[in-house]
Structure 1
């Protein structure tokens, strides 16, 4: 009765030890964020993966789709995520039993001296009495299969799998972060390019007015009604407009190349054509109360939390290295001198546990544990720094959205005044009360006001893009 109880007790002890897991368990940190970001004029919103559709621009939607499919930075991030998943699978496989097959052949020789002389009689290879001793050559054939499984007594393999899973989560968040950055950069570049297209149209209109003004100035100068200095000033204004237009063309071409690369194309491949009309830069609704949970889902915060999780799990791996490892091994093989002898009687078997206990490692294990704890503290600091950076970015983006909206409203009011002045100037010119130069001047100011409003609306749209990026989508 006692002999039967001891094995059961030993098995129960092994099973209970196999449920142990060394190291601290991970608990998600509490992000130090304000409860809400308040003070904006619209209703609460949540993160959306296709936030750029709020601009209502089919061309932008198509560019975003191309970028999500062909952007090289995003493709590289997806490959890194795939590698992390493969690594997780490899770590999980390391905890499974292994089965290996072996087969071999060797041509051996037993000499006449040393241990070989003792083995010869056992193998039936000893020389006959009175015969001089000499070496013996023979063949050895072997065939077998071996198995091995490490019992995870201290949770070392479980912690390794946990860390690998956290690395996959970090890789997924990093991929989401790259996708968000690419989407925001495509939207920003596209909007800026549309803005430059509008600037080119305004520049062409301003240059046409400058040509008219210069023609009138030259005519008046020929009649002695305007000085050469005034004509020279008009010529200088026209030359400045031409130089500005050249710079606009350069900037437009540079942005077009940047946009082509972002969507996975060649730099010299045009992805959009200048619009026939001025862009509206529709501005989507802005959230009035942004809960902190929204910011906590930012890809960089999710990634930092996952990195902290992985670092915490690796502490358990380092602690488990201090404790013994038990491997269960088994071997079943055949060894024969002649293939004709291969049979059941040639079998060899070996089954049993093997224990490995670290006794002295020169302090390596303790240093490894100290390193893992240091990495965990560094990951915690990196997480807090990421949260604070997110807080600042969201505050800045919210302030920029509010300021841009106010500036766009002021620019619209100024344009209305400029148009009213132009209308009055045109009416007075028709009655003969003022000269054509006054009308041209009013038209120039109106074009400048239209350009200013376009820039303000562009700034408001770009602020919306930055807000979505700061919120994580």
Structure 2
């Protein structure tokens, strides 16, 4: 029993060292971030974060749903990120292979000829086959540290993949809303051309009856041509946006078509942001940075163990005979060895590798801190823009109503001769600008909502 206890003590010590190594490798250095209890720009609705995983469906746009789901399968960045996850998983499996001994098989057969001065050649035949095994004992936890680093890197890649998917989904949503807004702005410009044509007919009629001058006709004709010309850049932007969506979808732009939907039918959902501390636990980019920091802790530990001696156990067995391609009769051999190796001098290579690992950890700690601070800033900014753009849209709606009323009144007054042509043209210009500004204001509100979804993690959970 006493002998057993003597043997058990080193085992317990080794297990204790291994467990302490695991805890130190999983530990993430403190980024020293003091979270505020509330957001600087609180929305009107408060409460816990509750975001659907397929958040794009809350806009109630069938075409948007199809675009996002297709992009998550075929977008080039998504495919690249998915393959990187696969590569990281294979790297983790390679690291886990260190748990098992390495086995090698060898076989050879050949002839050797030799002669001395004045004698004939003497041929010596030989055939041998053998198997050998070696296993590095993880005395200090270095191998385990490498496994932990590979696992953390794999987790980081998985989280980065989710961040890419979220980013692409948000880009698709923003591009689709841009496309719908440009369609609406084009329609508004076409209606403005129709108004200009109606005014042109009024001016022509008044000119024929001597109530308008040739200068009035020329001024209105210039206005009409200007309104027609304003359609061209909108059409160009519409085509460019369609092509950009095609690239996001992984499709050829030249043959890509989109369904028709009304911009006004898109719903704008209400969101709650929770607290700042909640957000950083729900963003995949923050989780990816945290996993990289965990990997750096394991790498520092592994680099330190390289300063310590290594213990390797190996064994071999084989057969050999003095005949070509024959092991009968054969000489059987077996053997084993336990070797201890300690690097005495390597020109500072190992020590400098430890310093590099520590510096890398400091770098990743600051990177993690930066990602968290950026997440807080993006969320506050999106909350502010959602609030401001909602109020601006309501104000712009009131402006449009007044501009529409002014245009109608001035058209009637111009027919009666109560106002001049310039007053009527100013009213038309104000009405057109108010219509166009309302579309752009609603687009800004939609984009702010998409940015808020992205800032809140898009329903992702670790």
1:360-394 deviation line (CA, Å, top 9, x unaligned): 11111111101100000111111111111112111
Residues 145, 299 of structure 2: 8 Å contact kept: yes
**In structure 2, how many angstroms separate the alpha carbons of the residues matched to 1:11 and 1:341?**
48
1:87 aligned residue (91, 105, 127): 91
Determine the structure 2 residue equivalent to 1:63: 67
2:42 aligned residue (27, 39, 47): 39
Residues 393, 470 of structure 1: 8 Å contact kept: yes
Residues 320, 330 of structure 2: 8 Å contact kept: no
Determine the structure 1 residue equivalent to 2:223: 237
Structure 1 residues 388 and 344: alpha-carbon distance in aligned structure 2, compared to 1, 3 A threshold: farther
Structure 1 residues 296 and 340: alpha-carbon distance in aligned structure 2, compared to 1, 3 A threshold: closer
Q: TM-score scaled by structure 1?
A: 0.86
Determine the structure 2 residue equivalent to 1:282: 267
Structure 1 residues 136 and 344: alpha-carbon distance in aligned structure 2, compared to 1, 3 A threshold: closer
Shift of 1:197: 0.3
2:342 aligned residue (345, 357, 381): 357
1:44-72 deviation line (CA, Å, top 9, x unaligned): 33343211111111111111111111111
1:366 aligned residue (348, 351, 375): 351
Residues 33, 387 of structure 1: 8 Å contact kept: no
Q: TM-score scaled by structure 2?
A: 0.88
Q: How many equivalent pairs are there?
A: 450
Asked if 1:256 is matched to 2:242, the reply is yes
**In structure 1, how many angstroms separate the alpha carbons of the residues matched to 2:365 and 2:148?**
17
2:434 aligned residue (446, 449, 455): 449
**In structure 1, how many angstroms separate the alpha carbons of the residues matched to 2:263 and 2:146?**
58
Mapping for residues 14-413 of structure 1, pairs under 5 Å = 16-17=13-14, 20-21=17-18, 24-28=24-28, 29=30, 31-37=33-39, 39-44=42-47, 45-112=49-116, 134-275=120-261, 277-287=262-272, 289-338=274-323, 342=327, 346-413=331-398
Structure 1 residues 210 and 421: alpha-carbon distance in aligned structure 2, compared to 1, 3 A threshold: closer
Shift of 1:209: 1.1
**In structure 1, how many angstroms separate the alpha carbons of the residues matched to 2:305 and 2:329?**
42
Shift of 1:204: 0.7
Structure 1 residues 27 and 214: alpha-carbon distance in aligned structure 2, compared to 1, 3 A threshold: same
Q: Larger deviation: 405-414 or 223-232? A: 223-232
Shift of 1:152: 0.4
Q: Which has the larger radius of gyration?
A: 1
Q: Larger deviation: 224-233 or 26-35? A: 26-35
Shift of 1:260: 0.8
Structure 1 residues 34 and 344: alpha-carbon distance in aligned structure 2, compared to 1, 3 A threshold: farther
5+ long unaligned stretches in structure 1: 114-131
**In structure 2, how many angstroms separate the alpha carbons of the residues matched to 1:220 and 1:441?**
19
Q: Larger deviation: 25-34 or 209-218? A: 25-34
**In structure 2, how many angstroms separate the alpha carbons of the residues matched to 1:350 and 1:309?**
41
